[in-house]
Structure 1
Amino acid sequence: MEVPFFSVLNPLEQTLIGTFFAWSVTALGASTVFITRRVSRKLFDALLGFAAGIMLAASFFSLLLPSIIPSFQSDEAYYWVPVTIGFFLGAMVICTADIALRHLNQKNRDQNSISARTSTEAEFESKTILVLAITIHNIPEGLAVGVAFGAASLGVMGADMAAAISLTIGIALQNFPEGLAVSMPLRAHGMSKIKSFWYGQLSSTVEPVAGVIGALFVVVAQPLLPYALSFAAGAMILVVVSKVMPESQKEVNKNLSAFCFIIGFSIMMIMDLALS
């Protein structure tokens, strides 16, 4: 599928457009605080399941497959090594960041219980930790978009412009419930609409930066492309498995969440296969 408008742009321009679009959908999700103070748990779980399905399908069809196909068709005996290393590194980076954030959050709670700090100081630290956590989990999404456009510009088999665009659309779709998931609890706990929206959209501001880094990396260091693609996939899949799906399965809406997961996965799969 030809995409004339994007074809005349360089990978950095394509990445910036794609990641800013993904950010705008996060902001749209966060803006729901201006309409309502609460969202039903059933709808929230359904949206989380849908987002997890999209992320998992995007990780496989738009990142892992393009990293596997060229390696598989090469003459190297251990063609699977770059993909495996990148995949594990992506997962380990996010896992390590999660452990560090949990330690930081626990330290913050302990200080709150034993010190005489003001509620303002405690609230500021809690918000900082929240923003850090969401920011870290958004880095793989921006990285994935940048790597996808970079791979498409290099003509890598299994990676093309349409696939990169479908990945961007998929990430944008799952960003809507993400923005809602950050801003709505803050609003429910009494934070103002403006502040709740601000923190909700702030979670995706890192995506354009990560995207540009990803695009630059694969264009400048083409031999490392399989590592970069699988790294982004590993990081995204770990976020789905350790964060998104467990959160959607906490309440009584497990079947609904699972069904929405299948819907999200199917939509992303269709988009990727139909547009490629």
Structure 2
Amino acid sequence: MIDVLLSIHPVGQAFLASLFTWGMTACGAGTVYLGRNPGRKTLDAMLGFAAGVMIAASYWSLLAPALAMGEGKAFPAWLPVAFGFLCGGAFLRLIDNFLPHLHLNFPRSEAEGIPTRWRRSTLLVLAITLHNIPEGLAIGVAFGAVGAGFSDASLSGAIALALGIGIQNFPEGMAVSVPLFRDGLTRRRSFMAGQLSGVVEIFAAVLGAALVVAAEPLLPMALSFAAGAMIFVVVEEVIPESQRGGNTDIATLGVMIGFTLMMILDVALG
């Protein structure tokens, strides 16, 4: 498998990896067709798990390689990484401020972004779509780094990142489709909305890989930018959503398990 991927252009690798992560989102959304849907406690645990994966991926798959790539330069290694990290958070804050969206388990009155009369289902899908933008960028820049030939980037590490994000996309897809079904949508419409939230990862991954291939010197900043965007999403949205239902202990346990799994994947495969 590795030999086959090595023969593909980095943008193509990112595209294939993001197809996998989107597929996992669709699989999670497809659980709405099961006879019995998971309860609130299960969804909160899964959201916590997704947060743990994203936190671990932000360091081991993005920030650590970015810092290593900055060694031996005329400026401190931490400078472009810190700048990129903060820019990633600022970018997501800008989108968060304008894009109409509604976090899971929040009432319609607490919708964020520009005021709109869009339906609750649309706002929920946009919220998860917002989650997936930094995940797609992370996949793209990871494969782009391998294609650029940086010694601190490996194809197995990029695959580990895609695998970890794909695993946590399963509960994210479920966390969209199940609440929508409970809100009165049909199973089909709930599934379509859930899987649609993962499509943006494909575009973000291709864009991230293309930018890195075109401008290799920006790679440390691009990696840290994706990390900053992911940490913003985790702290501002995913963890609060997982804790809102009162299942704080199980949600926190989910974070710990997700973090540990992603750490193992990255260290073992990367």
- How does the TM-score come out when normalised to structure 1? 0.89
CA shift, 1:105, in A, is: 5.5
Residue in 1 that maps onto 2:179: 185
Residue in 2 that maps onto 1:160: 154
**Of 221, 224, 227, which aligns to 2:221?**
227
The residue identity in structure 1 corresponding to 2:128 is I
Farther-moved stretch of structure 1 (89-98 vs 162-171): 89-98
Residue in 2 that maps onto 1:115: none
The residue identity in structure 2 corresponding to 1:232 is A
Partners of 1:205 and 1:67 in 2: how far apart? 27
Partners of 1:77 and 1:91 in 2: how far apart? 23
Q: Is the 8 A contact 1:53 1:263 kept in 2?
A: yes
* Structure 2 residue 254 is the aligned partner of structure 1 residue 254: no
Deviations 1:53-110 (A, max 9, x none): 1111111100111111111x213233322111110111011112112235766723xx
Residue in 2 that maps onto 1:170: 164
Flag the 1:148–1:106 CA change in 2: closer, same or farther, 3 A: closer
The residue identity in structure 1 corresponding to 2:77 is Y
Residue in 1 that maps onto 2:138: 144
Residue in 1 that maps onto 2:28: 29
Partners of 1:130 and 1:252 in 2: how far apart? 20
Residue in 2 that maps onto 1:58: 57
Q: Is the 8 A contact 1:51 1:264 kept in 2?
A: yes
CA shift, 1:212, in A, is: 0.7
Residue in 1 that maps onto 2:103: none
Residue in 1 that maps onto 2:45: 46
Deviations 1:112-163 (A, max 9, x none): xxxxxxxxxx5x5444433333222211111111100010122223211000
**Of 88, 101, 107, which aligns to 2:115?**
107
Q: Is the 8 A contact 1:145 1:211 kept in 2?
A: yes
* Structure 2 residue 76 is the aligned partner of structure 1 residue 78: yes
Task: Name whichever structure is richer in helix by fraction.
Answer: 1
Q: Is the 8 A contact 1:144 1:229 kept in 2?
A: yes
Partners of 1:183 and 1:254 in 2: how far apart? 22
The residue identity in structure 2 corresponding to 1:96 is L
Residue in 1 that maps onto 2:127: 133
Partners of 1:238 and 1:42 in 2: how far apart? 24
Residue in 2 that maps onto 1:10: 9
The DSSP-based 3-state class of the residue aligned with 2:115 is helix
**Of 239, 254, 260, which aligns to 1:266?**
260
The residue identity in structure 2 corresponding to 1:202 is L
The residue identity in structure 1 corresponding to 2:89 is A
* Structure 2 residue 214 is the aligned partner of structure 1 residue 206: no
Partners of 2:222 and 2:75 in 1: how far apart? 20
Larger Rg: 1
Residue in 2 that maps onto 1:89: 87
The residue identity in structure 2 corresponding to 1:50 is F
The residue identity in structure 1 corresponding to 2:99 is L
Partners of 1:233 and 1:50 in 2: how far apart? 17
The residue identity in structure 1 corresponding to 2:49 is F
Deviations 1:183-212 (A, max 9, x none): 111100110111000000000111111111
Farther-moved stretch of structure 1 (53-62 vs 29-38): 29-38
What stretches of structure 1 of length at least 5 have no aligned partner? 109-121
CA shift, 1:36, in A, is: 3.9
Q: Number of matched residues?
A: 260
CA shift, 1:37, in A, is: 6.0
What stretches of structure 2 of length at least 5 have no aligned partner? 101-110
Partners of 1:245 and 1:129 in 2: how far apart? 19
Flag the 1:105–1:89 CA change in 2: closer, same or farther, 3 A: closer
CA shift, 1:13, in A, is: 1.4
Deviations 1:203-257 (A, max 9, x none): 0111111111100100110011111100000001111111111111112321111
Partners of 2:113 and 2:64 in 1: how far apart? 37
